[in-house]
Amino acid sequence: MVGVAVLCALLGAAFSAVGAALQHSGVQDVGDLSLRRITTLVRHRRWRLGFSVLVVAAAMQVLALALAPVTVVAPLAVLALPITALIDVPRFTPGFAVAVLAATAGVVVFVAIAAGSAVAAEVPDRVVLRAGQVVAGVVCAFAAIGLFRGGTTRALAFAAGAGASYGLVAVLVRDVATSLPRVPWVSVAGLVVAFLVGAWLIQLGYTSGPADLVVAGQTVVNPVVAAWIGAVLLDETGGAAPGTGVALVASAAVSLVGIAAIARFHRLRMADRTRPAPRS
């Protein structure tokens, strides 16, 4: 079942990348996302197509979460990053390519380590509430940074807030999917709220930065948060070897360094665009 779950997660990552690129294009066409322009965005053809593709991606990810532990499945979402970069960035520099590979490889290693030790666990209501409180604090912190900063920092902050929300969503989706026919209403309510918050923060991120940067922030923070909930609150890795935790933290750190390098690449690219041409 784990193999099927991984395949579904990979397909979900590919669809996520295409959907992100389409939605980013729609948001850029609409411009500032004031309440008055929301209806304009929803009517935008590319944005709606992107939404449809993301629905398919979500279905793949839900199926994957129903078949394997959160710690194994959630990190595979980061594979949307190199696909989005190929779509969104016309010319790669060697440094940018290395940054994308670092962000992606860090999570791939994370998955390889976690897959050997993670065991699926039930998600009691008390863990849902505890996880919701922690994630809400993280999301508010990133949203505050996004509101008071601009440019790539604003885009990355909103993306990271969305990633934290989606990390909680991954855990709650697995709980709901594996609890049927019983319906865990606390998880359902938390899932809906976290998904809507994450979706809105993603759109705000698209107004301030390129699609690959937003996808990078979201897809790396997402599995880190989901894996933290799985490992710490659900004890999915309780039987792991003593050095597993260190290896997981190190691989996550590699991904975060890759994201920082991606943000720097776009910051420099934007600076080059705004720099006045030299006088002849």
* pLDDT tens figures, 238-279: 666 667 778 877 887 888 788 778 877 777 766 655 555 555
Residue 172 token pair:
């709650």
Quick one: DSSP state of residue 239?
T
Q: Establish if 39 belongs to a structural domain.
A: no
Q: What is the number of other CB atoms lying within 10 angstroms of the CB of residue 90?
A: 6
* pLDDT tens figures, 101-157: 888 888 778 767 766 655 565 667 777 888 889 999 999 999 999 988 877 888 889
Amino acid symbol at 261: A
Return the SS3 of 278. coil
Whether the Cβ atoms of residue 159 and residue 77 lie closer than 8 Å to each other: no
Structurally, the chain folds into a number of domains equal to 1
* pLDDT tens figures, 208-219: 888 888 888 887
Distance CA 203, CA 83 (A): 19
Kindly report whether the peptide bond that precedes residue 181 is cis, defined as omega within 30 degrees of 0. yes
pLDDT at 280: 47
Calculate ∠ Cα 233-219-226, nearest 5°: 5
Q: In Å, how far from its chain's centre is CA 175?
A: 19
Q: Establish if 63 belongs to a structural domain.
A: no
pLDDT at 34: 64
Q: Establish if 126 belongs to a structural domain.
A: yes
Of all helices (H) and strands (E), which one includes residue 238? none
Which residue do the tokens 């003593």 mark? 242
Q: Establish if 65 belongs to a structural domain.
A: no
Question: The domain containing residue 203 runs over which residues?
Answer: 71-274
**Cβ contacts of 174 within 8 Å, gap of 6 or more:** 65, 66, 69, 70, 73, 120, 123
Q: Is pLDDT larger for residue 73 or for residue 5? A: 5
Whether the Cβ atoms of residue 262 and residue 93 lie closer than 8 Å to each other: no
Q: Establish if 93 belongs to a structural domain.
A: yes
For residue 165, count CB atoms less than 10 angstroms from its CB and return exposed for 0-12, middle for 13-18, buried for 19 or more: buried
Mean pLDDT of the chain: 80
Q: Establish if 27 belongs to a structural domain.
A: no
Q: Is pLDDT larger for residue 278 or for residue 16? A: 16
> Taking 50 as the threshold, does the pLDDT of residue 20 lie above it?
yes
pTM of the model: 0.78
> Taking 50 as the threshold, does the pLDDT of residue 162 lie above it?
yes
Q: Establish if 49 belongs to a structural domain.
A: no
Distance CA 190, CA 206 (A): 24
Q: Establish if 41 belongs to a structural domain.
A: no
Whether the Cβ atoms of residue 207 and residue 31 lie closer than 8 Å to each other: yes
* pLDDT tens figures, 36-75: 667 777 788 888 898 899 889 888 888 887 787 766 776 6
Distance CA 280, CA 114 (A): 58
